[in-house]
Homo-oligomer: A and B are copies of this chain.
Amino acid sequence: MKFGGTSMAGTERIRRVAQIVRRQQAAGHEVAVVVSAMSGETDRLVNFCREANPLYDPAEYDVVVAAGEQVTSGLLALHIQALGSKARSWLGWQLPVHTDDAHARARIGTINCEALLASMGTGEIAVIPGFQGLSADGRVTTLGRGGSDTSAVAVAAALGADRCDIYTDVDGVYTTDPRIVAKARKLRHVTYEEMLELASVGSKVLQTRSVSLAMKEGVRVQVLSSFIEADSPPADSLPGTMIVSEEELLEIEGPDMESQLITGIAADRNEAKVTLTRIADRPGAVATIFGPLAAANINVDMIIQNVAKDLGETDVTFTVPIADLARTQALLEEHKATIGYNRIIANGKVAKISVVGVGMRSHAGIAATMFKALADRGINIQTISTSEIKVSVLIDEDETELAVRVLHTAYGLDSE
């Protein structure tokens, strides 16, 4: 079970989490709980580090910020004990959760669960601070913001857990954002691949990284609401969304599974579109664009190279996070001579709309349905990109909600 910062913000909320955890134990499960810091606490600690030194040493930053989860793990153990169950905290260095030494963005290696399993076997509930680990040279590491989801999946994998229940601000994964489409349906199941595509296009229910790890390790992840009543039934029978492999989904849903071609529709307004015009159409030209951006740690998403014209020149369009747009433009100006383009056209007022579904693999016409539905409502498609289980288009940002509603209906996703 994993609870985020909102669930751990103060005595009353931690007590409610303790009740939810106990109920799960009462249903016959051995339980390990991964917790975040109280909401706001990590920001407070990060701020102290920035004030100390804007170019802070990430090793000491990790010592400071890991304290937030240490506090909540001890407190949850105390609350569970107060309700009458055995509990103890296991800090990152105590298990230990081995990581590499990339401080502030460490990656988990192995987790030693021997003592943990022995303790859980005696009926003791294990409480583990998320986000933190131990480097090979014995120093505190952290996984980067939002790393507690990843901690939870990693612990579940190491324990060979039946399930990893992640309690979030939403009660599951929906066919699209319910704030945009009232008729959005909660999905009972979604595959890892679909979840990854949905996560990477703005449906931020889970950290992408935690989903990747779950897929790699085969951990069944359930997304649940942290706002359930403390006396709700245990999570086995709660209607969250289960994230599973395609094989398991096939078993669960039977051969009819592929009748559902599209699983969900996501919208992402945090991208900006950049076009470089009249680039020489020669080998290596594209590398001169994206090399400097990669070096500056700017994450380029869609890349579209238009058909070369007779002139031996081409236009290249790509998207970057809108927060990086100014830096991107500056870098491109700086490397103008090397790249050899004519003009930069930047547009921050775009939205990326994606339809996602494993069912589309075996079906033609998914993209055509999308283009037609949008065209019928006069929505102009600026750019298209596709992957095996996703079709994404860039449109004018003002048309985001309209496009999502149109597509939700076009693919038959609306609830009754």
A416 at interface, CB cutoff 8 A: no
A70: chain B residues at CB < 8 Å are: 63-64, 66-67, 70
In the complex the two chains form, is B93's CB within 8 Å of A81's CB?
no
- Asked if A78 is at the interface (CB within 8 A of a chain B CB), the reply is yes
Q: Once the chains bind, are B48 and A75 in contact (CB under 8 Å)?
A: yes
Q: State whether the Cβ of A45 lies closer than 8 Å to any Cβ in chain B.
A: yes
> Contact: A53 with B78, CB < 8 Å?
yes
Give A72-113 interface residues, CB cut-off 8 Å to B.
73-75, 77-79, 81-82, 87-89, 91, 93-94
Indicate which residue in B14, B56, B74, B87 contacts A78 across the interface (CB closer than 8 Å): B56
> A77 — which chain B residues lie within 8 A by C-beta?
57, 60, 63
Residues of chain B with a CB closer than 8 A to A74's CB:
49, 60-64, 67
Chain B residue contacts of A337, Cβ below 8 A: none
Contact with B along A257-279 (1 / 0, CB 8 A): 00000000000000000000000
A114 within 8 A of B: no
Report yes or no: B89 in contact with A52, Cβ–Cβ below 8 A. Answer: no
Query: Does A382 sit at the interface, judged by CB under 8 A?
Result: no
B-contact bits for A120-140, CB 8 A (1 contact / 0 none): 000000000000000000111
Which partner residue on chain B sits nearest A66 by CB separation?
B70
Q: Mark A347-379, 1 if CB is under 8 A from B, else 0.
A: 000000000000000000000000000000000
Q: Which of A140-184 contact B (CB under 8 A)?
A: 140
| A60 pairs with B48, CB closer than 8 A | no
Which chain B residues border A138 with CB–CB below 8 Å?
Answer: 94
Partner of A71, one of B45, B53, B82: B45
Q: Which residues of B contact A139 (CB under 8 A)?
A: 94
Q: Is the CB of A78 within 8 A of B61?
A: yes
Contact indicator B67/A53 (Cβ below 8 Å): no
Judge whether B57 and A91 touch: CB under 8 Å: no
* A406 interface hit (Cβ, 8 Å): no
A60 touches B45 (CB 8 A): no
User: Do the beta carbons of A64 and B53 come within 8 Å of each other?
Assistant: no
Contacts of A82 in B (CB 8 A): 52-53
* Chain B residue nearest to A71 in the complex (CB): B67
Interface string of A31-73 (1 = CB under 8 A from B): 0000000000000010011011100110111111011101101
Q: A385 within 8 Å of B by Cβ?
A: no
Residue of B nearest to A55 (CB): B82
A380 within 8 A of B: no
Q: Does A342 contact B (CB under 8 A)?
A: no
In the complex, how many angstroms separate the beta carbon of A347 from the nearest chain B beta carbon?
40
- State whether B61 touches A49 (Cβ < 8 A): no
Q: Do residues B140 and A14 form an inter-chain contact, with CB atoms below 8 A?
A: no
| Residues in B neighbouring A45, C-beta threshold 8 A | 71
Q: Are A73 and B78 neighbours in the complex by a CB distance under 8 Å?
A: no
- The chain B residue sitting closest to A94, CB to CB, is B138
A11: Cβ under 8 A from any B Cβ: yes
> For window 1-16 of chain A, which residues contact chain B by CB distance below 8 Å?
11, 14-15
Could you say which residues of chain B place their CB within 8 Å of the CB of A14? 52
Once the chains are docked, how many angstroms separate the CA of A5 from the CA of B118? 39
Q: How far is the CB of A376 from chain B (nearest CB, A)?
A: 57
- For A66, list chain B residues within 8 Å (CB): 70
Judge whether B60 and A88 touch: CB under 8 Å.
yes
A89 to B75, CA, bound (A): 25
Is the pair B93, A52 in contact by a Cβ cutoff of 8 Å?
Answer: no
Min CB distance, A345 to chain B, in Å?
42
Query: Could you jot down 6 A-B contacts, CB within 8 Å?
Result: A11-B48, A59-B88, A63-B73, A63-B77, A67-B67, A70-B70
8 closest cross-chain pairs (CB), A and B? A63-B74, A53-B82, A64-B74, A52-B78, A67-B67, A11-B51, A60-B77, A60-B74
